[in-house]
Amino acid sequence: MAGIKLNTLRKIYAGNVEAVKGISIDIQDGEFIVLVGPSGCGKSTLLRMVAGLETITDGELFIGDRLVNNVEPADRDIAMVFQNYALYPHMSVYNNLAYGLKNRNIPKDEIEKRVRKAAEILEIGDFLDRKPRQLSGGQRQRVAMGRAIVREPAAFLFDEPLSNLDAKLRVQMRMEIKKLQKELGTTSLYVTHDQLEAMTLADRLVVLSGGEVEQIGSPIDVYEKP
Ligand code: ADP
Ligand code: ADP
């Protein structure tokens, strides 16, 4: 595990669009940070810079003690959960979970141990032999999270992971993520539009506006104080 330090991060896209205007956030080891704010305020740009999917125009990004500005996404020791959980349709749940580890030269018995542990936490242990199409939407989203968990990363990045689910499932999966957060205690950066998700999950909320931090604090500080 590790904290994440954003030191005056900036992103200027082609056409001189300044999407992120020098944002600094010190994410503690094990802390769950939720990023909220109106569409276009820079949430996904910020998350993608941390993931390494977008170049950093200016500023410094540390994961643990390591400056990672120029480190490839795969070498950043982070795992990202997307809203479009792209599972491999022809592979069993087991192999969907194991696939990323098989490519990393992790021994077979270690892979099996990690897959079983993640499956137990997510309560998908009975479905390991099924194909994704034989699963419900919620079970699929759990497999997608399982793929992040088995990597045992220093941090999780969530890009609106629940926004494609129906309202009932969203509530259920929100509690699931909350449980995960308690059990694993992994540093997390979570982007959402949903105020309930933000309030339930966040240790600290970061409200962005126009590429800048407008407010930062506990959910109570941000939502309940005048
Ligand atoms: P959010 O995730 O909060 O909706 P984004 O990070 O997607 O915000 O976008 C922030 C700003 O950057 C917006 O003004 C958006 O139009 C702009 N932007 C996002 N991606 C690109 C891109 N690839 N090229 C140019 N501008 C972009
Ligand atoms: P493929 O779709 O690649 O042919 P297999 O079902 O043959 O997948 O499994 C490949 C390996 O993954 C097996 O050798 C086994 O070790 C492991 N595996 C697959 N399913 C399970 C499972 N349900 N429990 C434990 N290991 C499994």
Per-residue pLDDT of the chain (226 residues; tens, 9 = 90+): 799 999 999 999 999 999 999 999 999 999 999 999 999 999 999 999 999 999 999 999 999 999 999 999 989 999 998 877 789 999 999 999 999 899 888 999 999 999 999 999 888 999 999 999 999 888 998 999 999 999 999 999 999 988 888 888 888 889 989 988 888 999 999 999 888 899 999 999 999 999 999 999 999 998 876 6
pLDDT digits (tens, 9 = 90+) for 71-92: 999 899 999 988 777 899 999 9
User: What is the helix (H) or strand (E) element at residue 144, kind and residue range?
Assistant: helix 137-149
What letter would DSSP give residue 28? P
CA–CA dist 18, 61 (Å, integer): 18
Partners of 135 in the beta sheet?
none
CA 143 to chain centre: 14
CA–CA dist 208, 193 (Å, integer): 12
CA-nearest of 168, 219, 167, 224 to 190 is 219
CA–CA dist 169, 86 (Å, integer): 18
Global pTM value: 0.88
Residue 119, number of CB atoms within 10 A of its CB: 22
CA–CA dist 162, 32 (Å, integer): 16
CA distances from 114 to 40, 107, 120, 136 (A): 38, 11, 10, 23
* Residue carrying the six token digits 């810079």: 49
Q: Give residue ranges with CB within 6 A of ligand 2.
A: 91-92, 94-95, 112, 128-129
Nearest atom of ligand 1 to the alpha carbon of 54: 23
User: What is the helix (H) or strand (E) element at residue 57, kind and residue range?
Assistant: none
Helix axis angle, 137-149 to 93-102, nearest 10°? 20
CA–CA dist 161, 177 (Å, integer): 10
Nearest atom of ligand 2 to the alpha carbon of 90: 2
Contact (Cβ atoms closer than 8 angstroms) between residue 50 and residue 219: no
Angle CA 218–223–226, to nearest 5: 115
Please give the distance, rounded to the nearest whole angstrom, from the Cα atom of residue 142 to the centre of ligand 1. Answer: 28
> Is 42 touching ligand 1 by the criterion CB < 6 Å?
yes
For a pocket test of ligand 2, which of 94, 114, 116, 127 has the largest count of ligand atoms closer than 8 A to its C-beta?
94
Nearest atom of ligand 2 to the alpha carbon of 94: 20
